[in-house]
Structure 1
Amino acid sequence: MARLYVAYSFLKSGLDSINDWTTTQYLYENDFHVPLLPPHVAAILGTGGELLFPILLILGFLGRISSLGLFFVNFVAYISYAYSLQTAGKMYHYIWGILLLVIILWGPGKMSLDYLLSKIKR
């Protein structure tokens, strides 16, 4: 359930970013101050992460790796515009981070491709 909740949140954001790329670029140039990356590169990588990792997480394929990727996306998003987030916005990032850490530590669970593939290997 944690996998689906977190994946939905990030996938929706990624789809919104793709559907209005002009606004996405504007936000990365003016609001999201991603350290060490030019805004256009940060926009591509951030949106790519929001689209790829949630799909893997929904499937439960490479669950720990995709959770780690989303954890990183979440962390970079938080530090990039934490100054402008209200308390409720910060809480979402904390909740997503905790849920992703749970998946990183304990895996994606029995209803995942990772689990199914591990059973087939045996």
Structure 2
Amino acid sequence: MQAQVPARWALAVGAVQSVLMLGARWVVAQAFFLSGLTKVRDWDSTLALFQDEYAVPLLDPHVAAVLGTGGELLLPALLLLGLGGRFAAAGLFVLNGVAVLSLSEVAPAALAQHQLWGALLLGIWFWGPGRLSLDALWPRRLTRSA
């Protein structure tokens, strides 16, 4: 027999969860977006990194640089807004994994940071971006107009 959770507790937990999911989205989006801006600011260095340092398999270094930088700029914006939140989280999870795997050496502190981002992105992918997101508003608008 399951114990019933009082409605006020369920509302409180839901509110806290929504704020925590927004915080997780903010932390990850900020890190990746700032990385993308850094790459755009010095495109010659970015191209050199993708040619000499990053070992991205199956892609031309120039194509990898464009795709990686574009992903680091577009996906964080979607993630922060919670628009296509699960899609954005999955895309950033892949970018995060490629970043770790493509470097020959990763400092322990950097690896820990990538692991944190990966864990936050998995949480967003599994549970969605939360109530404080455009994804949460979207179905409500569709059902109201029907």
| C-alpha distance in structure 2 between counterparts of 1:104 and 1:121, whole Å | 23
The question of 1:13 aligning with 2:35 is answered yes
Q: Which residue of 2 aligns with 1:58?
A: 80
Corresponding residue SS for 1:109: coil
Q: Which residue of 2 aligns with 1:109?
A: 130
Q: Which residue of 2 aligns with 1:73?
A: 95
| C-alpha distance in structure 1 between counterparts of 2:69 and 2:123, whole Å | 23
Give the CA RMSD over aligned residues: 0.7
| C-alpha distance in structure 2 between counterparts of 1:89 and 1:30, whole Å | 20
Shift of 1:67: 0.5
With the length of structure 1 as denominator, give the TM-score of the two structures: 0.96
Corresponding residue SS for 2:57: coil
| C-alpha distance in structure 1 between counterparts of 2:28 and 2:114, whole Å | 10
| C-alpha distance in structure 2 between counterparts of 1:13 and 1:88, whole Å | 17
Task: Give the ranges of 4+ consecutive aligned residues of structure 1 lying more than 4 Å apart after TM superposition.
Answer: none
AA at the equivalent of 2:64: A
| C-alpha distance in structure 1 between counterparts of 2:87 and 2:116, whole Å | 19
Identity %: 49
Corresponding residue SS for 2:130: coil
Alignment: residue pair count: 121
The question of 1:88 aligning with 2:116 is answered no
What runs of 5+ residues in structure 1 fail to find an aligned partner? none
| C-alpha distance in structure 1 between counterparts of 2:64 and 2:110, whole Å | 21
Q: Which residue of 1 aligns with 2:56?
A: 34
Corresponding residue SS for 1:36: coil
The question of 1:121 aligning with 2:130 is answered no
| C-alpha distance in structure 2 between counterparts of 1:121 and 1:2, whole Å | 27
Max radius of gyration: which structure?
A: 2
Shift of 1:54: 0.3
